[in-house]
Homo-oligomer: A and B are copies of this chain.
């Protein structure tokens, strides 16, 4: 673990290249905007990676130098190679944090980590969302008020097919009648996973201060802990007993 938290912001980076409306909102790409506000913190270093780079930009070297990986994808989940998903999963279980944003709920890596469909309802009419803090003791809620609003969003609604989170940090309300578990924290292996609902390719959500605050908090929470096991996947065969055990017939 470095002194600074080393964040890799991964973006599918397709919408921005094909759709002027997206490029207008995120001229450096969604990854560029996320890396920009994170990098403004003295304790965080950022790099970016995108789908169309070799190995999607997620080589063994990059992952070895990544404390927290942020994931944004939407239209090309199926193009992510399974062997890269295997590699990222292994890195998470060995301690790397994973923060999955918005439509990343259907990414291969999030579905892999959850073991469930990760499906949900949605609607896109630009309605209002209120994100209520449902665990005010959690470090990811630091600096927030009881709730914050995002004025125009895509609605994501229950049933969200995920395991019950180890901690449910946010629960959202939508104008049109739905609720959503919108901030979900998990321990997995030596690593941590946080799903956070806000985001959209044409809405300026990653410019909103509360959203930036939560993602920054989540990076600090998800950074690896220098705990036991260099490779948690390595079964230890033939463990000696604590002392001679007399097995009775």
Interface residues of A (CB under 8 A from B): 89, 93, 95, 112-117, 119-123, 125-128, 130, 132-139, 141-147, 151-152, 155, 157-161, 163-164, 166-168, 171-179, 181, 186-192, 225-229, 232-243, 245, 247-248
Main secondary structure of the interface of A (DSSP, over half): loop
In this complex, which of A121, A134, A233 has the most chain B Cβ atoms within 10 angstroms of its Cβ? A134
Taking the full assembly, how many copies of this chain does it contain? 4
By a CB distance below 8 angstroms, the chain B residues around A126 are 247
By a CB distance below 8 angstroms, the chain B residues around A146 are 158-159, 228-229
Closest approach, in angstroms, between the C-beta of A233 and any C-beta of chain B?
A: 4
| Contact present for B120 and A235 (CB under 8 Å) | yes
Of B142, B173, B176, which is within 8 A of A227 by CB?
B142
| Contact present for B119 and A232 (CB under 8 Å) | yes
Of B123, B135, B181, which is within 8 A of A187 by CB?
B135
Closest approach, in angstroms, between the C-beta of A175 and any C-beta of chain B?
A: 5
Of B112, B123, B164, which is within 8 A of A239 by CB?
B123
Complex alpha-carbon distance, A116 and B133, angstroms: 17
Of B137, B147, B181, which is within 8 A of A191 by CB?
B137
- The contact sample of 14 A-B pairs, CB cut-off 8 A, is A112-B115, A114-B115, A120-B235, A123-B240, A127-B247, A137-B187, A137-B190, A137-B227, A168-B168, A171-B171, A173-B178, A175-B247, A176-B240, A176-B241
| Contact present for B177 and A241 (CB under 8 Å) | yes
| Contact present for B173 and A245 (CB under 8 Å) | no
| Contact present for B122 and A235 (CB under 8 Å) | yes
List the 3 shortest-distance A-B pairs measured between CB atoms, nearest first.
A176-B241, A177-B242, A141-B227
Complex alpha-carbon distance, A135 and B162, angstroms: 10
Of B133, B161, B240, which is within 8 A of A93 by CB?
B161
Closest approach, in angstroms, between the C-beta of A109 and any C-beta of chain B?
A: 10
Of B161, B168, B179, B239, which is within 8 A of A121 by CB?
B239
